[in-house]
Chains A and B, each alone.
Chain A
Amino acid sequence: MQKSAKDVRPASPTGRLIPAILAAWLLGGATLHATPYIPGDDSEVLEHVLPNTDHRMQDIRKLAALIAQSPGDENRALTLASRQLALGVAESDPRFVGYAQGTLAPWWHGSDPSIPLQVLRARILQAQHNFTSAKQDLEQVLHKDPNYVEAHLVLAGVDEATGDLGPASQHCAEAGRIRPSLAAIACAASVDSVSGYADRAYASLTLATSRARSKDPVLQSWALTVLAEIEDRRNDPGAGQHFTDALAQHPNDVYILTAYADYLLAHNRAADVSRLLAGKERIDALLLRLAIAARDTGDSRLPDYIVALADRYTAAQALGQSLHLRDESRFELDLRGNSSRALELARQNWAVQRTPLDARIYLAAAQAASSGSDIKIVAKFVADTRLEDFRLQDLATRQTAAAQ
């Protein structure tokens, strides 16, 4: 990724926003209500799926064929389901998470689930943002076997997502006590980085990424991303490089792409976002970043992007899906200028997940809607967790000063 410092942010993004919103409104729903048609040409491409050459799909197909021969083999089903879940997370596609649940269907509602099944079920529920049920499963597992390391680690991950950083830290420590491991260290670093111990986390991860034993690209890219996020929250200049390094290890990871795009947008580098995400419009989270970049650069595709995003959020809502709340809040605030709707969505999202990004989006919506009570909720969260984020700490300080 080449950085270009000469990109100039347009003087007034709102000046372009209004005609874009008008156009979007006029074209509203155009793609949702398109007329069905018969394609004129047999070679017309209608949809993209994973090709046969994709080794993950090959593995999944082989396992599925084995299970078809011996249905009821729980161990094989667990292997297949964890592959499907991993693919779903890597591709940022909830369909594969649904397939994982389908693979486990014979045992999913069982009254006495095995420990490995319950842990995997918790991870599937976590990926579906059903954090409450995931925690229940993991707590039951730990009740049956308090030394089950993986349950501690996964539960720490769920607790971190819901902003319960105290318990998260305890579970990481517990995992490390039972069996010292890189996983436990990584777990602690992740929690530390958002709970007032960013320095410690930074040192620990820097060391981990330099170890020969940890050259696994997935781990490398993950650790580099956490480093970049710490730097981003501290407004350190190294963040961009760490994001780029993380992407080099794992070029199509949606999480890293999203975090890096947000970083670039915050540093007035919208043109870089357009280049970074070109051709990835199909992924909703990335399309949102492309749309914000288009707004900032005056790209003529902005109205199309807005229509497409609105359609996807509408479809998700019609089907009763709520995986998009955070992004939708930002969409309403940054692209439609509807601060009250943005705040409503941010509140709904806050009830489910509470990571630093959720806090930032909640705060932005609360400030735009001038809602003092919501701003206080974020300020209290920042103070309680001792989150080190220069954008949020200022707020916490100001709130404390105002209270005194």
Chain B
Amino acid sequence: MRTKGLQTLPRLWIAVLSAIAMVFAVPAFGHLSSGSYLRLEITDRDITGQWDISLRDLDVAIGLDEAGSGNLTWGEVRTRRRDIEAYALSRLTIEAGNSACRMQPTELLIDQHADGGYAVLRFNVVCPVLAHVLTLHYRLLFDIDPTHRGLLTVTDHGVVNSTVLASGRAAYTIVLGAPATSGFFSFVRLGMQHIVGGRDHLLFLVMLLAPAIVTVRRRGMASCLMEAMTLLSLFTAAHAVTVSLAALSIIDVPARVSEAAIAFSIAVTAADNIWPILGPRRGMIAFGFGVIHGLGFATALGPLALGGWSLVAALAGFNLGIEIIQVALALAAFSVALAFATYRDVLLTRPVSAKMIMQLCSLSILVLSSYWFADRSFLQGILQ
């Protein structure tokens, strides 16, 4: 026992000792550390947000306890509503494409969470452009408390995703209509979903490939496949270019114009199937209308808030997704045609040629697409 040391103890060491007492008694912390709960709900109509922020955090950030009594009352919170909303919403950025969305506060409420009272901010997110990718930057409280966390929950058309935002990883990208934000593959999926859901594109492709398909028995598989692949490649090359240009906002064609042009492209192709006049120049149709269809694809993608390789990956993924479905469709059509050619005599009692069936289908599609064209180019304009 160093009693001598005890007697000659400098005063400084009393202070150090208090610190040591603190060091040895590492407490099991009695409270949760700072966290906020941010919820975004995305529907076809709008984006709404709800943000639960601890009143204790808000008190440290902007000083709510006016009376200094240690009791935060509703009166103290209510009169500072503007300040609370301004403080919180200035620490959250949501961008659609390259433009920032506006946050419009709608309500201020109170909730009691497991660890105390929270201010509940409700707000609308108003974005200037429609985009398929939203980027979110979260900056609440990190300057005061770097251990703060934000629990983000995004509900996109009923699909729920959650993530924890922390200092250093406070950005989050929301790819709409794609539950898992896995970059490249979510764009592949987006491309696939878009073309599967777009009857215009599918009808055009069927019409484009139909002559090659129905002559499979007469001309042989190799020759027909070659023709189909050439047409598809020309179509893809053209729409890949326009999708990219539109995604980069280099060209911007109103959706109404491009949709009318797409209907026109279907009508022209269907007509050529009935009264063939283009012959080997169908390749030009494939390329020219590919440019127009690319405009349609681009509306699904919207302006992208991406740069560098992630932009390249997104565009490549999107075009690949479209291509996958196109090739699958072509292969399915060829399979049907081959099956029909093989079992025609069994299936039909009267000799009907594949070409006749193709022409009948083309005729009905010509009628339908002509109506679409008229509807999109004239009728809607009149109604508006």
Residues of A within 8 A of B (CB): 31-32, 34-39, 41-54, 82, 86, 89-95, 97-99, 101-102, 105, 108, 123, 126-129, 150, 153-154, 157, 160-161, 176, 180-187, 190, 203-204, 207-208, 211, 213-214, 216, 218-219, 221-223, 225, 254-255, 258, 282-286, 308, 311-312, 314-316, 318-321, 323-324, 326-327, 353
Contact = CB atoms under 8 A, between A and B. Distances in A.
22 contacts: A34-B111, A36-B50, A36-B52, A37-B109, A42-B78, A47-B72, A51-B69, A89-B27, A92-B31, A95-B60, A101-B145, A129-B26, A150-B16, A157-B23, A182-B6, A216-B17, A254-B30, A282-B115, A311-B113, A319-B35, A319-B151, A353-B26
Main secondary structure of the interface of A (DSSP, over half): helix
B17 A99 contact: no
Contacts of A126: 23, 26
A183 B56 CA distance: 35
Given A32-B114, A47-B116, A94-B147, A255 B60 contact: no
Given A45-B72, A46-B55, A93 B147 contact: no
Given A213-B7, A311-B114, A99 B70 contact: no
A208 B6 contact: yes
A214 B13 CA distance: 10
A94 B29 contact: yes
A326 B26 contact: no
Given A48-B72, A49-B72, A93-B30, A101 B115 contact: no
B13 A321 contact: no
B28 interface: yes
Contacts of A37: 109-111
B109 to A, nearest CB: 4
Contacts of B9: 181-182, 213
Given A48-B72, A101-B146, A315 B113 contact: yes
B1 A32 contact: no
Interface string B1-45: 111111101000110111111111111111111110000000000
Interface size class of B (residues with CB under 8 A): 35 or more
B66 to A, nearest CB: 10
Nearest to A280: B30
A161 B17 contact: no
B83 interface: no
Interface in B107-165: 109-117, 120, 143-149, 151, 162, 164
A48 B70 contact: yes
Contact of A36 (B26, B114, B120, B166): B120
Nearest to A175: B20
Given A99-B144, A180-B5, A312 B115 contact: yes
Given A31-B113, A183-B16, A321 B32 contact: yes
A133 to B, nearest CB: 13
